[in-house]
Amino acid sequence: MTRRWLDQVETLAREALPPAVFRYVAEGARNEISLGEASAAWDAMRLAPRVLRDVRTVDTRTTLLGADFAVPLGIAPMTLQRAADPGGEVTMAAAAHLAGVPMVLSSNAGSTFADVASTGAHWWLQAYVAAERSDTVPLLESAVAAGAEAVVLTADTPLIGTRYSLPEGPGVWEVADPAWVGANATTPTGADPESRAKAMDLGPADIGWLAETTGLPVVVKGVMRPDDARRCVEAGAAAIWISNHGGRQLDQVLATAHCVAGVRAAVGESAQVYVDGGIRSGLHALIALALGADAVFVGRPIFHALAADGGAGVDRALREYADELVESLRLAGCASPQDARGIVAPTPTAGPSNRPETRL
Ligand SMILES: Cc1cc2nc3c(=O)[nH]c(=O)nc-3n(C[C@H](O)[C@H](O)[C@H](O)COP(=O)(O)O)c2cc1C
């Protein structure tokens, strides 16, 4: 069998992107310990598959926040998509629509809400809440008016964690075209829109405030702890998104793979549970579902696929995830994602990683 497109996209993206942008996508916080552990944590999990089950038909359709999707998979919010493709988020959204998955739009997107909405994709707005809450309202209102179906509150970013850019050459915000970001900004932005003052006093009340302001389901992204997950649900969150921001914020945090079972147990069925971070295959997705997630989200590989071959690249990458998930479900004796619940041990097995990237 030929190598997966997903195993090639990083190399192709490196060729296609300005070095500072490629580094920005790849980087993690400080010593990049959490970044390095993310995929290895999924690799270390072991399944106990079912047998003697009818798997002639595997139905991956999943309902997330009231909308139906083809697979329990989505595109995580990422800024700078217009550095990868001229259409940026619009190209990404069109590919998401084709694959039947949700697209989460970064609040620092370079494409307007209206243009993203025109693709017909189901899209959710990722929001940082500003220190001055009212500064966030125009952004929220224009997203609602354009058809956003949920608001994803990024809760792990009271400030941008320190990352080290390339030792030589310009930093990403020095090479970034201003048109690559800030298309929906309602307040003046500097060269680096990520550095705008973010609330350092976010609390459970902000969840209710977001729900009230937008009338949309609120997803809290960046939750790692069962007690925090419970607090979010009590405050009205419709879903918990387990994430360590792709290892880009606080270093030496747990791998998200190790958080899923605890968060699911804490919230029961009172909220949906999503997870991202290092999910590099349909098998990783199956493991997340087995641990209790309703859906998984993917970041860097999809960005790389966009840079490597535009919308066709994203389509191919999403198809590979979906096809691998179907095969893995079938081999595990599961006719649906829901059947996968519990077929994995909640703690990992020690052992070296043997993913293809590390073998070559
Ligand atoms: C280039 C890039 C930009 C990102 N921008 C945002 C953002 O604007 N808002 C946000 O909540 N998360 C952002 N993230 C984090 C992703 O949403 C996601 O949590 C993470 O990338 C998932 O891990 P993975 O890349 O290993 O799949 C960004 C990640 C990358 C790689």
Tens of pLDDT, residue by residue over 327-341, are 999 999 999 999 999
pLDDT of res. 165: 77
356 pLDDT band, cuts 50/70/90, is: low
- Give the DSSP H or E segment for 223: strand 218-223
Share of the chain above pLDDT 90, in %: 90
* pLDDT beyond 50 at 199: yes
* Protein residue with least CA distance to atom 28, ligand 1: 78
Residue of 173, 245, 296 to mutate, ligand 1, most atoms within 8 A of C-beta: 245
Q: Are 69 and 318 in contact (CB under 8 A)?
A: no
Q: Are 338 and 292 in contact (CB under 8 A)?
A: no
From the list 110, 75, 70, the residue with the least C-alpha distance to 90 is: 110
- What mean pLDDT is predicted for residues 210-229? 98
Q: Closest ligand 1 atom, CA of 157?
A: 11
pLDDT of res. 358: 44
How many A from CA of 335 to the centre of ligand 1?
31
pLDDT of res. 222: 98
* pLDDT beyond 90 at 94: yes
Helix (H, G, I), strand (E, B) or coil at 109: coil
* pLDDT beyond 80 at 310: yes
- What mean pLDDT is predicted for residues 103-113? 97
Residues with catalytic annotation? Answer: 245
* pLDDT beyond 80 at 1: no
Q: Closest ligand 1 atom, CA of 221?
A: 11
DSSP 198: B
Query: Encoding tokens for residue 252?
Result: 């030496």
What CA–CA distances, in Å, run from 168 to 21, 28, 161?
Answer: 13, 18, 20
CATH architecture under which domain 5-186+200-345 falls: Alpha-Beta Barrel (3.20)
Distance of CA 17 to the CA centre of its chain: 21
pLDDT of res. 136: 96
pLDDT of res. 360: 40
Give the contacts of 76 (CB within 8 A, at least 6 positions apart). 104, 243, 246, 276, 297, 298, 299, 302
* Protein residue with least CA distance to atom 11, ligand 1: 154
194 pLDDT band, cuts 50/70/90, is: low
- What mean pLDDT is predicted for residues 169-184? 94
Ligand 1: residues with CB < 6 A are 24-25, 38, 76-80, 106, 108, 126, 154, 221, 243, 245-246, 276-279, 298-300, 303
* Protein residue with least CA distance to atom 3, ligand 1: 78
From the list 245, 257, 322, the residue with the least C-alpha distance to 293 is: 257
- Give the DSSP H or E segment for 127: strand 123-127
Q: Are 307 and 17 in contact (CB under 8 A)?
A: yes
Residue of 165, 223, 248, 321 to mutate, ligand 1, most atoms within 8 A of C-beta: 248
* Protein residue with least CA distance to atom 14, ligand 1: 78
Question: 274 pairs with which residues across the strands?
Answer: 241, 295
pLDDT digits (tens, 9 = 90+) for 16-40: 999 999 999 999 999 999 999 999 9
Residue 178 C-beta-side C-alpha neighbours within 13 Å:
5
Q: Who wins on pLDDT, 168 or 155?
A: 155
How many A from CA of 255 to the centre of ligand 1?
15
* Protein residue with least CA distance to atom 20, ligand 1: 246
How many A from CA of 317 to the centre of ligand 1?
17
166 pLDDT band, cuts 50/70/90, is: confident
pLDDT of res. 197: 81
How many A from CA of 58 to the centre of ligand 1?
30
